[in-house]
Amino acid sequence: MAKIAVILLYISLALLIIYGLDTLVASLKQPQLDGSPGTGFLPMNEAARGAIFGAGAVILSIIGFVIGRKEPSKTISILLLVNGFLIILGMIMVMAMNIVTPSEESTRTIGSTMLLGGLLIGLGIAKMIVDKRKMQISKS
């Protein structure tokens, strides 16, 4: 089961990298005629891209954690931490690059996204702690 969890977490990582690269490409392009930001290499709008690549990555990470929670695995913990940090780092970069216009909706979206990144980091830390305890018990 740990192998399935690791595969899901790698897929999640790939989705986050693709999402981040697409956002970066979109931010480097000139705004469109109607003033909306440029599009990246993915043929979809921001909402669809976020739902598929962002939410999909978080869901796959959580499923990976649930599937692999009973077996000790440093890889699962590390991938959860990396995915969480990548989400938070992505949001920090979006705010720093002024890609989004400040509004109540964008603030809510950025806040909830960072919270999900923090959740993945928390799951990674929890997995490390539980695995460490299991290893100590098995040595006794």
pLDDT of the residue at 26 = 79
Number of domains in the chain: 1
Which one has a higher pLDDT value, 126 or 25? 126
pLDDT of the residue at 125 = 96
Name the residue range of residue 60's domain: 2-139
Condensed to tens digits (0 to 9), the pLDDT of residues 83-120 reads 999 999 988 888 887 766 677 887 888 889 999 999 99
| 3-state SS, one letter per residue, for 36-98 | CCCCCCCCCCHHHHHHHHHHHHHHHHHHHHHHHCCCCCHHHHHHHHHHHHHHHHHHHHHHHCC
pLDDT of the residue at 140 = 65
Q: Is the pLDDT of residue 18 over 60?
A: yes
pLDDT of the residue at 105 = 80
